[in-house]
Amino acid sequence: MTANNEIGTIEDIGEICNLVKEAGALMHTDASQAVGKIPVNVKDLGVDYLTLSAHKFYGPKGIGALYIKKGTPLFPLIHGGHHEEGLRAGTYNNLGILGMGKAAELAFRDLAEYGKKMSGLRLRLRDGLLDAIPNIVLNGHPEDVLPNTLNVSFPGAEGEAILLSMDLNGIEASTGSACASGSLDPSHVLLATGLGPELAHGSIRFSLGWGVEENDIDYIIEVLPPIIARLRSMSTVKE
């Protein structure tokens, strides 16, 4: 993936693509989490295929796109009619397509402003939590990271308990990825970075968007420290 949906780390897809091409293989990247948040250019990346999803940049849900480099092979998965030049049977979702196109246009227009605002809010939240809460772990790359994503582990406090307490205070966040929200297993992404199961279970992902302002960040910094302190005092797990 171009950027990870849990910890926000941005991968060097261009370099990966070079290695893939040296091996004589084709390259696909899932750019769903990156498009609309950072510049994404298929020519610069050098990929053969790229997928994206409209709802990630404020477009309608249920619509996405697949980029295919000219001359690259592709075979149908769903057979039937002659839609999509014979590659996918089914009636076009015209409203979804139009909505995605408009959302992409607006996202491209506002990309620089979005990056500047989200980076500022993310740093404000990161630094505020580091100052207010002892012994926390920042997950993901410190620099090559999406401007809107902050993943933090709180040793001695369980993620679901943190979420419930924040929810009661009107703060929305998540543990791990939304795709795995029905699972109680620790995040495979965090485990793969070398984090232990206890820290992975105590991780919270903050995803920022256009509706978030500085006063919202300050509210989190005010409300979260006593929540963590209370949960740690009740925990049998050593920090």
Q: What whole-number distance in Å separates Cα of residue 2 and Cα of residue 35?
A: 9
Kindly name the residue from 179, 181, 211, 238 that is annotated as catalytic.
Answer: 179
Closest CA to 203 of 177, 229, 165, 235: 177
- Order of strands, edge to edge, in the sheet holding 137-139? 137-139, 149-153, 203-207
Closest CA to 133 of 230, 33, 28, 11: 230
Q: What whole-number distance in Å separates Cα of residue 141 and Cα of residue 227?
A: 26
Contact 220, 122 (CB under 8 A): no
Contact 162, 154 (CB under 8 A): yes
Element (H, E) at 182: none
| Residue 17 designated active-site | no
3-state secondary structure of 144: coil
Active site members? 179
